[in-house]
Every structure is written in structure tokens, then in C-alpha cells.
Structure 1
Amino acid sequence: MDWIRLTKSGKDLTGLKGRLIEVTEEELIKHNKKDDCWVCIRGLVYNVSPYMEYHPGGEDELMRAAGSDGTDLFDQVHRWVNYESMLKECLVGRMAVKPVAVAKENHEKKPLNGILLKSKLPDLPAKEISPSYDWFQTESLVTIVIYTKQKDVDSESVIVDYQDGCFRAEIVINDYSYLLHTELSHEIQEDITARVAEKTGKVEIILKKKDNVSWKYLGHPLENHNSFTAHREKGLYYRKCKLVSKVDVTHDTKLYCLMLPPDTHLQVPIGQHVYLKLTVAGAEIVKPYTPVLESLHSDLQEPLHPHNKYIYVIIKIYHTGLFTPHFDCLQIGDYVSVSSPEGNFKKSQLQDLEELFLLAAGTGFTPMVKILNYALTNTTSLRKVKLMFFNKTEEDILWKNQLEHLADKDRRFEVEFILSEPTCEWTGKQGRISLPLLSKFVKRSLENSRVLICICGPAPFTEQGIRLLKDLNFSQEEVHSFTA
């Protein structure tokens, strides 16, 4: 919170005494030192020198964009951060012309937090396969039809929101997004239906008219309406969700249930995360979380809450943290902003799989919940699923009883708990992620078995795990790490 206090102190953080200026390329390049560091993000220039000591990634990461356009670097690591709010007191002005790019073609590419930056985005799909839309109406309904021209579109690919008269529909197609964004010409009821014909890729969104009158036009186009662009170029879109329940999972972790607005259609795909946003002391704080299921018990007849209307998140409360103490103080009925899903895990990675290994530490277990459930339910070729779950103490283990129940019920599933700080009563394995542990646990049943290994936890755990799996001769395609 020290940075927030500094921004509210009235101190001149730009060095320009409140003036906003137009910044040329030549001027931007001059400000490339730690005590005089300007960075351009999406055409706006900020003096980030005062922020150096507060940056979680350290000064060196900020200096990579010093005196240049840091948009690509920012999007690779911090796309979810509301930099406009966080750095508003550092705003120098707007670029006069296109700024100098961070990376030159002849420079050696270096990984940023483990991600290799690309010099440019892949070309957009050919115009003839870009989606299109049409609409028609009856006396009481308006149907918007989107022709995606793709066969791998399902209900999880469709996100629909209606807020304050504005209709927004996003269709996620591989790494691209097709967006309809319009201010409707008439009011509609809250109940919106989305249907997908997976074989043809046709999406139908059905709106119920509030008044049974004929619409002369659908509405007034808003920003990026009828656009088809790379998904990573789009900013995050949020909607307000109501907190409807919170249940203790462990001594410091809870399961929260958030209800989507009635006029939102959103299903978080397997292995993807959302961002939760709260305003704390006048600043927006954003954190990523991977939604889970209500329960691992597949023998429940009906879920308490339908998965397409509710989002469940397991959150560990850090009492000295910026976000979680405030989130835990929310009362039932309070609202929190929830983003559209993000992430690069594809359900297709589980197709035709024979062996699935899950390596999780602490709340890094959350991405594994839906993966585990989907694989055991839908992957018919699957012979074995093994979860190696690392925690400090036994009381830290999330859903221990449910995991043991699942292992008893499904002979394909095996779970191993490893503790780093066990009590003397603990009879299971202990230690941290290591080559001896992994070499015994992650073994192919057959030489040519189709294998996927998913790993998630604190950054040191994940990085060490990836190195060890490489030492065990697993290919890059066989390992998926979750980072946000």
C-alpha cells in the first residue's frame, strides 16, 4: 500500500509540475535511466522512476522498456493490471508519433519471466474465414446469428453480456476473438439464451423483447463492433458478480461462490482463469484465480448451483496481503468484478490421452480440479491419472477427503500427498519437489504412452518442476505449466 500512499501524497511524480506534454520519439529515447525512466504503454507515456522500488518484478524488468514502447512487454506479463489507475499520477503525456519498439529484429531474444517474446503477432486469418453476423426478429424475440465458419466452437467459446443497454458478444476462436458490441435500439429482458451448432460453428443468441414492437435496426455500433482480432490485443472485460456463499475449506482457505448477472452467458473453460477486481483505498487491485467445481463428488445428482450461472473459486487468505483480506470481508450479497476467461490450456490436450500426471503445490491445485474431472469423465482412452499434491502441513491440504474418496471410487486415479513440514504423526511422504520423488511418480506405463503432465504452484515450484521433467526426458509438448 506504500505506492498508493505515495500517489496520494501530492508529490510531483512526473517532474513536470502537473503539465501534460506531447512526447516525440527523440524525447522518449532520452529518458532511459533508472532515475529518469519514461515508458510508453498504448500511446501514453509514464515516468516510472518513482515506481521502480515498488515494482514486484524488480527494477531490471522495468528497465527493459526504458525510453521505448513497453506495450508488448507489459502485455506478456501484466496484461490484467489496470496500469492507467495505478500510474495515473505518473502520466507525462501522449506520444506524438509511433515510439521506438523495445525489441529490434537483430537483437537476441530473451525470455521475460520464462516467456519468449515474439517479434510480431501471427497474421490474422484470411478475410474469407472471418466470422460474420445477421439478425432477424419475431413479435417477441430478436435472434442474432453469428457464422464463425469454424467447427471447433462450443458453448465455452461464447461470452455474452448485456449492461446498461449495451449488448456485447465475444466468440473466442483459437487465439482470436470476434466481437459484436452495440447499444441496442430497444430494451430487452434479462433472460438471454445462447445456442451453438458445433458441427457448423453457427451461434444463435436469442434476446427477449421488453416491448413487442418491431425493431427497425439492431442498434448503434460501439467500440470494436464487428471486429475479428488477436485475442491478446483485447483488454479485459469485467462484469459485476454477486457473492452468494463462502465455505471454509481449510484453516486459511475458503470456497467462494459468485453468481453471474442474469443477462450474462459465460462458462470458464477447463484450465483457464479469471481476474477478480476490487477497489481498495481508491486503487483497483486485481488478482487471477482459476475457477473450480462445487465439489469433486461426481455422484451428486444435481449441483447446488448450475455451472453456467455460478463461478466457484478457492482462495487462500493472506492476512497481510493487499487483496485477499478485503475480499474475505465481503458480505453475502456484495459484488465483485469478474473478467472474461484467460489462459492457453486447450481441452484438446486431453484427447486420446493415456496417462495424465498432475503436480500441484498449495492452491496450485485449483487448475487440476476441472482437468481431473473432465479427464476421468470424458477421455475414454485414459488408463491412469496421478496427482502429486505438495503442501506444508496436513491441515493445508485442500479437499483431502474428497480426493481420497475419488481414489477409492475410480481405480484409474491415484493421489499422493507430500508434506514439507509434517508432524510426527504423519506417515506419508515428505519433502519438496525433487528428482528422486518425480522419477518414481511420473513414469510411463509403456514406452510410447501418450502422456500429459500439468504443473501449478508458486513460481519456484513450477520452474523447478519443469527443469526436472526435462531431465526425465519429457518433451515440451508433454508438459503444461499454469502461470498467470
Structure 2
Amino acid sequence: MATTFFRRLAKSAPTTFSRASRFHGDSGFGTFRFPVGAIAALSGGLSYYYSSSDNNLVYLDQEKEETGPKTALKPDKWNEFKLQDTARVSHNTQLFRFSFDPSAKLGLEVASCIVTRAPVGYDSEGKPKYVIRPYTPISDPEAKGYFDLLIKVYPEGKMSQHFASLKPGDVVEVKGPIEKFKYSPNMKRNIGMIAGGTGITPMLQVIEAILKNPEDKTQISLLYGNVSPDDILLKQKLDALQAKHPNLKVYYTVDNPTKSWKGGVGYISKDMALKGLPPPGDDTFILVCGPPGMMEHISGGKAPDWSQGEVKGILKELGYTEQMVFKF
């Protein structure tokens, strides 16, 4: 039987429970479409690989034991986490809840990510080969005994297909956390966010961290782009947060609107950013997360060495600098 969280989630999104789901739908992601093979690190729009080689297959050395506080996550050791339950969130996106010892803390900071691996056979010497992908949990980092991953599944996505094949009781190997963006309360007066598809995952971590802290007065503006209204992940959850918290403003836009759609239409534009984001300034910070094409359009991608790189695209045109923008 589904957990309380999943029953609640089913009411806040077009969710169908499935313990052996088949995924149907196109390969659209966020506000742009790309060939499936061109999109890496799909969840959370992360442009980061923990390690990679041809075909994103890696060979892993024996890990050393870590000593320190009791945490479920280890930065240099692969640990197994058991799948507790699943829930369908959209036609091609599913939520996965994994459990761990509730007496230990997960060890995740806002908004860091974890790294997962799955076996994909053996090489000519009989050594195991793995595909590795990073994901940003959407559950509260302080949650006891579980964490949740929101994953978009593609027909040719090695890791996402592995997740789709899992049944409750199966395990996934996880390492981490990997720090992406370290949030601290009231670090800026205004935080603007631009997300596409599952790029919403790190944004949700930051949003919930701000809204649950009554001492945090940060003003949040989110521009969220998707292919269609049905692709908007956890929309009712975001709407509920917006209705309860006046310091959160959310604006949606989709490529393919329905007749009843009342939000924005088309790719996130310069005009949308101008109207929906806080203006450039020392007390403004903009977070961007989405597929590569969206990133190039909005902020420019990361540098070849995975550092932040220079700000390009719409944000540069509007006057935002490298000190004001973070790319997940």
C-alpha cells in the first residue's frame, strides 16, 4: 500500500501508482526537444558527471571505508538503498522513494545531489561496467528514513530505464552528497529561478528550505517551462506553496498549450524573464536548471571543465553577471 506521502502526492499531481510501470510519451524535456541521446544527466537538468567514458560507462575502483558521524550517505563509498515505493507523476516521469536506517541522517545539504550507479555488463577482462548519473532528491534533507527522487524516463536512457525496471524491495547503489549550490537563509533578498522539466528538483529543495524557515525573508520568483501542461511536474504542490506563502511567485509556460491553458506560451523569453525575475543587483541571485538547449538560451552552459563559465543568453542581455547567476 502506498505511503502517506504518495497518497498525498497522488492528489497534488496526475499520479498513477505502478509497481511495474511502462512508460509512454515523447522525449521532450522542459521547453525544448532534443534527441534522447543528446541529453545527459536528465534529472534536475544537471550538467555534471561524477565520472564518465565512452557511452557514459565507467570503471570503478575499490572504495575505502569512511569514518565519522553516522550518515546514510558516504562520499567515497557506494551504499545500497532499498526502493520502498513508486508513484507515476506524469506520462513519462515517476517518483521513487528509497528507505534507509531512520536512526541515521541522510547527510544531504540544500541543494546538493547524490550519485547513482547501475551495472551494464562486463568488459573483456570480466570487470563490471556501470552507468552513473547524478540526481537531486526532492524530499526534505532532514527527513528521517527515506529520500525521494523525481526521474524522467526515456526509452534509451540507461539509468532512467534501470530505475523504471525496479520493484519495491530492489536496491540502488548511491554515493554522495555532491555539493552543487549551498543555500543559507537570507543570503540574498531576492532569488529568481528558471527551470525546465525535471530541472525543478534543485529549485524545490531551495524553495522548501526557505518557506519552512519563518526567519528566512527571501523573495522567490520561479519561471518554469515545460512541453505541455501535462508535463508540469508537481504543479499542484507548487501552487499550494504559492497560495500559502506570499514570498513565492510562480509563472508557468508551455510549448503546446491546451484550449483551457491560462499560463504562458512558448519558450522562456526575454520579456518573461524581465517581468518575472528580480532585477540585476547585489541582493539578487538567479538559479538556472534545465536541458542543455534551455541553458544555452537562458544563461549559457557551463565551461568545459564544468565550472560555472560566463553568463550568456537572455540573462546576459538583461544585465546579470557571473556573480548573480548559478547554473546547476
TM-score higher than 0.5: yes
Corresponding letter in the other structure for 2:249: E
Secondary structure of 1:347's counterpart equals coil
Equivalent in the alignment of 1:463: 296
Secondary structure of 1:368's counterpart equals helix
Equivalent in the alignment of 2:163: 327
Q: Would the aligned equivalents of 1:390 and 1:417 in 2 still touch at CA under 8 Å? A: yes
What residue ranges of structure 2 are gaps of 5+ in the alignment? 1-36, 40-46, 123-128, 300-311
Cα distance in 2 for partners of 1:311, 1:80 equals 23
Which residues in structure 2 correspond to 1:60-75 (within 5 Å)?
none
Cα distance in 2 for partners of 1:77, 1:392 equals 23
1:81 is aligned, of 30, 41, 52, to 52
Corresponding letter in the other structure for 1:81: S
Cα distance in 1 for partners of 2:317, 2:78 equals 41
Secondary structure of 2:168's counterpart equals coil
Corresponding letter in the other structure for 2:258: T
- In the superposition, the TM-score normalised over structure 1's length comes to 0.49
Cα distance in 1 for partners of 2:65, 2:162 equals 31
Which residues in structure 2 correspond to 1:252-331 (within 5 Å)?
252-260=92-100, 265-282=105-122, 283-293=129-139, 307-331=143-167
Q: Would the aligned equivalents of 2:242 and 2:249 in 1 still touch at CA under 8 Å? A: yes
1:169 is aligned, of 67, 77, 81, to 67
Cα distance in 2 for partners of 1:322, 1:395 equals 24
- 2:285 matches 1:452: yes
Cα distance in 1 for partners of 2:268, 2:293 equals 10
Q: CA offsets per residue over residues 47-79 of structure 1, 9 Å max, x none?
A: xxxxxxxx979xxxxxxxxxxxxxxxxxx9644
Larger radius of gyration: 1
User: Are residues 401 and 287 of structure 1, via their aligned partners in 2, closer, same or farther at CA, if it must alter by over 3 Å?
Assistant: same
Corresponding letter in the other structure for 1:403: L
Higher strand share: 1
Secondary structure of 2:118's counterpart equals strand
Equivalent in the alignment of 1:439: 274
CA shift, 1:250, in A, is 1.4
Which 4+ runs in 1 deviate beyond 6 A?
A: none
What residue ranges of structure 1 are gaps of 5+ in the alignment? 1-54, 58-75, 89-165, 172-191, 195-233, 295-304
User: Are residues 352 and 263 of structure 1, via their aligned partners in 2, closer, same or farther at CA, if it must alter by over 3 Å?
Assistant: closer
Q: CA offsets per residue over residues 158-207 of structure 1, 9 Å max, x none?
A: xxxxxxxx852368xxxxxxxxxxxxxxxxxxxx589xxxxxxxxxxxxx
Q: Would the aligned equivalents of 2:57 and 2:131 in 1 still touch at CA under 8 Å? A: no
Corresponding letter in the other structure for 2:298: G
Q: Would the aligned equivalents of 2:117 and 2:133 in 1 still touch at CA under 8 Å? A: yes
Equivalent in the alignment of 1:403: 238
- In the superposition, the TM-score normalised over structure 2's length comes to 0.70
Q: Would the aligned equivalents of 1:80 and 1:275 in 2 still touch at CA under 8 Å? A: no
Cα RMSD after superposing both structures: 3.2
1:369 is aligned, of 204, 218, 223, to 204
User: Are residues 286 and 430 of structure 1, via their aligned partners in 2, closer, same or farther at CA, if it must alter by over 3 Å?
Assistant: same
Corresponding letter in the other structure for 1:309: G
- 2:325 matches 1:354: no
Corresponding letter in the other structure for 2:225: F
Structure scoring higher RCO (CA < 8 A, sep ≥ 6) equals: 2
Equivalent in the alignment of 1:419: 254
Q: Percent identity?
A: 27
1:336 is aligned, of 172, 182, 195, to 172
